[in-house]
Structure 1
Amino acid sequence: MELENRRRAGWLSKNSMMSHIKDQLLLKSELSVWIFLLLIHCSEGQHQLIGPTQPIVAMFGDDIVLPCRLEPAVDAAARTVEWSRPDLKQRIIHFRRDSVDLLTEQNPSYTRRTSLSISKLKSGDVSLKLSKVKLSDAGTYKCIVSKYGTESAVELVVGSVSSPEIEVSKDSSSVVLQCESAGWYPEPEVLWLDAEGNLLSAGPTETVRGPDDLYSVSSRVTVEKKHGNKFTCRVQQNNINQTRDTWIHVSADLFMVHSNLSARITTTMAACVMTIAVVVFIVWKWGQTRTKRQKEETELRKREMWMIGNDVELELLMEGQRDREQSMLGREKMKYLEMKKAKFDEQLQKNEEELKHVQQVIEVFKKQKEDLKTQKEKLLSLQEKEKMKIKEIDMMKDPLLDKKNKQQKREKAKQEAAQKNTEHEELLKNTEKLLETTEEMIVKMTERKGKLKTNKEQIVKHLKSTEQQIELQKKLEESERKEDKDNPPLNKQTTEQLQGRPQVELDQPEEEHNNPC
């Protein structure tokens, strides 16, 4: 009995111990579950949406992906994903919930142009694909995954580009290049570069904005042979970091033709205008000088006649006051001489100015003469080259051996050489005529210079004579003043005394007669 009780007690003890162990295991299991759930919650709270740090640039009409992903990566296929544009009134661009795209509230401008990749969603990539990008798509987009409470912003910049085209045109004196390019956004700038990459000075760029908001640009530049033969038109837009280049090669013959034509027109017109202007100015100057000189001579004659008339009148009518008349005549003579000297000084100054001008004109004509001689030599050299070119073409011609195409090219080259030769002959004739006219003008102006020098000598001679007369008159007046000082005239008081003295002497006998003493 006792043994049985011991067995029963041991069994109960074992059952109690087993129960206690089970309870501990159950508690540990529940604790592990809670810890696991807590870790999941904490890890979920640490997820972030990662987007680009720089704007995304898309070209008009292309497909583009707006990047956005969960970090750390987690399956987002069943999550709520929202793409929006806060600047729009209807801001929803794409919305997905419970693995279904819900696009009833989508902005109509994005209809059938947005999508999310299901395979990428499973790896946490919630990037939005935008098809057939429009200019109006430019803006800031927001990416939101609702469960994680985070969002990311993506800025989209939309641009449009096209390759430029260059056209060559000719005018009377230069070669003009025109560059055009249509379908740009935003508005671009146009640059011209020479063969070495240096910027060329061009006119203002013409810009037109079309109904599709795309820009068309056009630019013109005038080029010369010194810039080289290769020219590049560059259209660029820095905001979208896009550049398009087109280059063109301009043949040297094109520059040569225009250079010869320009030289002919410039030389002929400049020489003709200069010759006409100088001749007109010289005729006008001579007329002005002659008129002024005639007026001055007339005034001098009048003054001399007036002085002679005064002298005769004074001598006839004022003979008793000759000393006073001579004194007045001396003052008038001094005034006349000073006026005469002033006139000669003025004539001398004008003569020197005209002489200086004539010398300058002669120098201009001499320079023009040298230029025309140089031009003549160049034309003769070009003429000889064209003649040699025609001879070489004639010697190469062989109808039996040449093909029809080559023969036509040679005939065309011969015609061009003959035309250039004719132009050179015409230009040479004009140059020789201008050279002859220039030499004649140099002779005439040299003669005019000689006459002016002779006139200057005469003026200087008269001027010195007048100055000597003035000095002599000054000495005369000084001598008269000294003589008047040594023999002063009678004053009024002395005259009265002399006039009253005889009256006193006549009165004295009466006083003596009345005085008995």
Structure 2
Amino acid sequence: MWEESLSFWLMFSLLNMGSTSFPPVRVGNNMTLQCSFQVPFGNDLRIHWHHYLNGRRAIVHSYYNGTEQLKDQDEAFHGRTKLSLPGIQQGDASLTLTDLRLSDRGDYRCIIVNGGNFKSSNISLQVSAPYERPQVRILSRIGENVTVECSSQGGVSEALMVWRDEEGNTLEALETPVVVRNKQEICEVRSKLTVTVERDIAVCCCLTPEPRAEELRVCDTIAASQKQEAPTLLDPKNIIAISILTLVGVSACWAVVRRQRPPQPVPVRMVISA
């Protein structure tokens, strides 16, 4: 009997209830959807959270018979919903969604069945997925040829990624930027560039998420290879080293010469007595 009454109330609420809206919440963050009811309540208290998107209804979370009931929970919400059981005792039926996905956007309905009383409130949830600031890193350096890569992720639509020099001139990338989507339909864009670095130069990676969106730009300076100068004989350190080596060499040669010289005869003085 209560199921029929609940169905009637839901149809009525669809026609008469507005939605509470909030600023967009970023993908991956947590969000608590507020819902409350009057206390005290009886043993037949029921709390239901439903999600509506593109004409489809999904069961998000349920509570009845004094405990959470998740057997009918939609698979997309498994392990990502939570009611505060202590809060229920205070009339708080708020639902926390964790690790938000793009598919979590849409309308949520909190339904409270407390004896013969019904309450329904709607909340509109917007989920944003803006691209992150591009990052540039060096992949390889062969002589004066340096290959760099630019990457950015977080968007839901393909983005335009181009390379420019410090004067704003377009640089030709090695290949067309690669766009990869994950299971949550979030995009990652990557592009590679090879430049000849004879002196320190700056390269800029520019990302435009949508045709009219603000450009995300990051510039990085690539340093030229450091060439080590050949040491000169006039270097003070070299002069000292050469002087020490010369003294050591002369001393060694003198010692060898002394050992190789034959002994000199000692004159004998003869004395003749009368």
TM-score range, shorter chain: 0.5 to 0.7
Q: 1:209 to 1:183 in 2, by over 3 A?
A: same
- Render the CA deviation track for 1:238-274: whole Å, top value 9, x for unaligned: 79x99987653222568xx9xxxxxxxxxxxxxxxxx
Higher relative contact order (CA 8 A, sep 6+): 2
Q: Which segments of 5 or more consecutive residues in structure 1 lack a partner in the other structure?
A: 1-47, 258-388, 403-517
- Aligned partner of 2:137 in structure 1 is 166
Q: How does 1:37-56 map to 2 (within 5 A)?
A: 51-56=20-25
- Does the 8 Å contact 1:235/1:243 carry over to 2? yes
What is the TM-score of this pair, normalised by structure 2? 0.53
Structure in which a larger fraction of residues adopt strand: 2
Local SS of the residue matching 2:27: strand
- Aligned partner of 1:219 in structure 2 is 191
Given candidates 76, 81, 85, the residue that maps to 1:118 is 85
Given candidates 103, 108, 115, the residue that maps to 1:142 is 108
Local SS of the residue matching 2:237: coil
Local SS of the residue matching 2:52: coil
- Render the CA deviation track for 1:204-236: whole Å, top value 9, x for unaligned: 6512325645534222456688x9734443557
Q: 1:170 to 1:65 in 2, by over 3 A?
A: closer
Q: Distance between the aligned counterparts of 1:100 and 1:184, measured in 2?
A: 37
Q: Distance between the aligned counterparts of 1:157 and 1:123, measured in 2?
A: 32
Given candidates 228, 235, 242, the residue that maps to 1:396 is 235
Which residue type is aligned with residue 81 of structure 2?
Answer: T
Q: 1:188 to 1:153 in 2, by over 3 A?
A: same
Structure in which a larger fraction of residues adopt helix: 1
> What percentage of aligned pairs have identical amino acids?
14
Question: Once the 2 structures are TM-superposed, how far is the Cα of residue 53 of structure 1 from its aligned partner?
Answer: 3.2
Question: Once the 2 structures are TM-superposed, how far is the Cα of residue 106 of structure 1 from its aligned partner?
Answer: 0.9
Local SS of the residue matching 1:398: helix
Question: Once the 2 structures are TM-superposed, how far is the Cα of residue 102 of structure 1 from its aligned partner?
Answer: 2.0
- Render the CA deviation track for 1:353-408: whole Å, top value 9, x for unaligned: xxxxxxxxxxxxxxxxxxxxxxxxxxxxxxxxxxxx76x74432735879xxxxxx
Q: How does 1:472-511 map to 2 (within 5 A)?
A: none
Q: Distance between the aligned counterparts of 2:169 and 2:21, measured in 1?
A: 39
How many residues align? The count is 211
Question: Once the 2 structures are TM-superposed, how far is the Cα of residue 153 of structure 1 from its aligned partner?
Answer: 2.3
Q: Distance between the aligned counterparts of 1:143 and 1:398, measured in 2?
A: 82
Q: Which segments of 5 or more consecutive residues in structure 2 lack a partner in the other structure?
A: 1-16, 113-117, 242-274
- Aligned partner of 2:5 in structure 1 is none
- Render the CA deviation track for 1:16-52: whole Å, top value 9, x for unaligned: xxxxxxxxxxxxxxxxxxxxxxxxxxxxxxxx99733
- Aligned partner of 1:68 in structure 2 is 34
Q: Distance between the aligned counterparts of 2:99 and 2:214, measured in 1?
A: 19
- Aligned partner of 2:201 in structure 1 is 229
RMSD: 4.8
Q: Distance between the aligned counterparts of 1:247 and 1:222, measured in 2?
A: 15
Local SS of the residue matching 1:148: strand
- Does the 8 Å contact 2:180/2:188 carry over to 1? yes
Q: Distance between the aligned counterparts of 1:77 and 1:55, measured in 2?
A: 34
Larger Rg: 1 or 2? 1
- Aligned partner of 2:26 in structure 1 is 57
Given candidates 154, 165, 180, the residue that maps to 1:209 is 180
Question: Once the 2 structures are TM-superposed, how far is the Cα of residue 101 of structure 1 from its aligned partner?
Answer: 1.9
What is the TM-score of this pair, normalised by structure 1? 0.32
Q: 1:99 to 1:398 in 2, by over 3 A?
A: same
- Does the 8 Å contact 2:134/2:151 carry over to 1? yes
